[in-house]
Structure 1
Amino acid sequence: MTAVVDVHAHVILPEVEQAVAGRPGLEAHRELDARRNGAESLAVSGRMVGARIDALTRVPVRLADMDARGVDVQIVSPSPSHYHYWAEPDLAERVARIANEGTAAHCAQAPGRLLGLGLVPLQHPELAVAALDHALALGLKGVEISSHAPGVELSDPRLEPLWSRAAETGAVVFLHPFGCTLDERLDRWYLSNIVGQPVENAVALSHLVFAGVLDRHPGLKIVAAHGGGYLPVHLGRADHGWRVRPEARGCAEPPSAYLRRIWFDSLVHDPAVLRSLVAAAGAGQVLLGSDYPFDMGVEDPLERLAAAGLPDAARLAITGGNAARLYGIKE
């Protein structure tokens, strides 16, 4: 019987925050975060994380929640708050190593049930391959990245060695945005997350697609959080632009064709949107995801999947069959 696999779950690693405490650049990073989110949302988020800290740090709590939700395996990635893309090279390299080692140690407490992803210092592309290799050497399945880093879009030629190495090793790259460059325009009503995350997913995936990254690296395993944001359900405009605008022809095929080369989690919060995602990308490209244990996630990912009313074969593939193949999990 195929294991139920949740590919979108997080861990908080206090050691990462200890490493950056008091370092130059941290205060400016926090000020930017405050401008982007607004004081009210920061306060609510602080209380939310505090109430869920056991789930974010203690393996027995995580396993009990998984059992209650019918999840056999979680793919655990560091909280995106650990990216710290403001850090200079030495600190950035240290943050990635601490995150990789901490995630591996967390997952090692439940072999077979917890698999992990590490981090790379995306803001320093020259350090990214070594950080990926470090993560893989620890037994992690790949790495988590944001939609961009300061001065580095995912289309940046300096990231070509990272994409090459990830494709060569079969490492999974989990695209999970953190922060939106629309800044203060989204500083009320939690729009920084509600609107900002889907925007960032769409922009980041568009950079990968239109720049031809997936043409040059056909074996690259990209998993997009939050169902890929706004991109998968609004591809008609992208395809039209690709056809009529010569400067949009950075990729070999229409943008919609690349959805069959990207994987997406099921965390879209609406049965109709999930059906649209499956129609656009194919059932073989969608994976179960909950964003455990944050409040923008869901506590019932299997029930949410069932509510979409997909054919049994598609539902079983999304429940765990696709993830088993992608992450090398024994069924």
Structure 2
Amino acid sequence: MIDMHAHYLSPSVLRQASAGSVPVGLAPDGRSLRFPSGPSRPVPLPLCDLTDRLGWMDERAIERQILGPWMDITGDDLSPAAATAWCRTMNDSCARDIGNEPRFGALAALPMVDGRAAAAELGRCVSEMGFVGGAIPTQVAGVDLDEAGLEPLWEAASGLGMVLFMHPFRVMGGSRMRAHFLNNVCGNPFETTLAALRLYFDRTFDRWPDLRILLAHGGGVLPTLAGRAAHASRYGPGFDRAVDHPDSILESFYYDVILHDPRALTLLMNTVEPARIAAGTDYPFPMILDRPTDHIQEAGDLAGLTEDELNRILSGTATHLLPG
């Protein structure tokens, strides 16, 4: 299995933050990072440990894991210059830590506050350090992706043939999402759905047909709502295109498997082709899918998938999305 949804932060980044040598400082607790909009959540220790991670992967027959940044700390509230320096620090440190370990690949942290800078950092990470793509949020400090001036990034990712993994950080709902971990349970998938639909109806994929975006958390509720969106485009106000079938929307994206209920994953499997679904775990956060192969197998049995289709989800889609 190839794990396309995992997170990593080099411990050297915390040391640099403590020393004041990077644009982001360390909070007094020694585990949180300070940003203009406030401190991050405390950095969990497993996020910074590659040795234990390899043991965890061995126990679950995970052949390779693609390390993405922790989106909470990518710095969308920093100035463009500070965000660029900060993301560069995270990416350089990650590359050094991985070294020549073939079981890890990396997605670049991108300074999303500046589309040109984000494009340049993606290109640098791919060409100089062998990164396999980039990670993007669902909004940039309150600005939706289709209005954030990210055209240079879409152009760069398309030209390089690199996947962009969309993972939420800031979510809608404000104080209504604070109880019961709802900012994660509901906020993250709602954000992904909103961002995906805005990109689709902004004709992003018409302009960059080779753009490949992998949606976290099974695409949120996009597989359920694509039909409503297609119907609305034909009969509702505010659309400049009519979508004949929800597959036009759904086939614009790729999806991970982190839904935590095989029945929900079965819905995804019955809605999009296995070639658009990739395995993932969300390591090492509380919403981790701890036994991903079992989860995928159980859902595949319910969906009636063949062995070849299951293997496509376990590793084939990832192999297609990753370079050489």
Determine if the TM-score, normalized by the shorter chain, exceeds 0.5.
yes
Return 219-228 or 120-129, whichever deviates more: 120-129
**Partners of 2:280 and 2:254 in 1: how far apart?**
11
1:323 aligns with 2:318: yes
Partner of 1:229: 220
Partner of 1:21: 25
Alignment partner of 1:219 is 2:210: yes
Find the aligned partners of 1:258 and 1:282 in 2 and give their Cα distance.
13
Distance 1:27 1:82, change over 3 A: closer
Could you tell me how far 1:223 is from its partner in structure 2?
0.6
Q: CA RMSD in A?
A: 2.2
On the 8 A contact 1:288/1:320 being kept in 2, the answer is yes
Alpha-carbon distance between aligned partners in 2 of 1:159 and 1:289, rounded to the nearest angstrom: 26
Aligned to 1:87, the other structure's residue is in SS state coil
Q: What displacement does 1:254 show?
A: 4.7
Q: Which residue of 1 aligns with 2:157?
A: 166
Higher relative contact order (CA 8 A, sep 6+): 1
Matched, 1:205 2:196: yes
Structure 1 residues 233 and 159: CA distance shift in structure 2, 3 A: same
Number of residue-to-residue matches in the alignment: 307
Q: CA deviation at 1:14?
A: 4.2
Deviations 1:146-180 (A, max 9, x none): 10102532212721121011001011100000121
Q: Amino acid of the residue matched to residue 8 of structure 1?
A: H
TM-fit CA distance, 1:253: 6.0
Contact 1:174 1:222 survives alignment (8 Å):
yes
Per-residue CA distance 1:10-48 (angstroms, 9 max, x = gap):
10234545120179x9455227x7xxxxxxxx6xxx4xx
Moved over 6 A (4+): none
Match of 2:137 among 143, 146, 150: 146
Letter in 1 for 2:6: A
2:112 equivalent to 1:122: yes
SS at match of 1:75: strand
Q: Specify every segment of 5 or more residues in structure 1 that has no aligned partner in the other structure, as ranges.
A: 34-41
Q: CA deviation at 1:246?
A: 5.0
Structure 1, residues 70-127: CA drift from partner, whole Å, max 9, x if none?
10010111111221110012210101111211222232251x2101001111122231
Which AA in structure 2 matches 1:113? R
Label 1:143 to 1:253 Cα distance change in 2 as closer, same or farther (>3 A): farther
Q: How does 1:229-268 map to 2 (within 5 A)?
A: 229-245=220-236, 247-250=238-241, 254-268=245-259
Whole-Å Cα distance in 1 between the matches of residues 76 and 198 of structure 2?
Answer: 19
Q: Counterparts of 2:257 and 2:238 in 1: how far apart (Å)? A: 32
Partner SS, residue 180 of structure 2: coil
TM-superposition CA deviations, 1:189-226 (whole Å, max 9, x none): 11111110011110111111111101111111111111
Name the CA distance, whole Å, in 2 between partners of 1:272 and 1:90.
45
Classify 1:127/1:27 alpha carbon distance in 2 versus 1 (closer, same or farther; 3 Å): closer
Residues 1:184 and 1:246: Cα distance change in structure 2 (over 3 Å): closer
Distance 1:152 1:126 in 2: 16
- 93 and 267 in structure 1: CA distance in 2 versus 1, 3 angstrom threshold: same
Q: TM-score, normalised by structure 1?
A: 0.87
Q: Give the match for residue 10 of structure 1.
A: 7
Task: Between 216-225 and 11-20, report the one with greater CA deviation.
Answer: 11-20
1:243·1:254 contact (CA, 8 Å) conserved in 2?
A: no
Partner of residue 314, structure 1: 309
Mapped to 2, the partners of 1:62 and 1:73 lie a distance apart of 11
Work out whether residues 26 and 86 of structure 1, in 8 Å CA contact, stay in contact via their aligned partners in 2: no
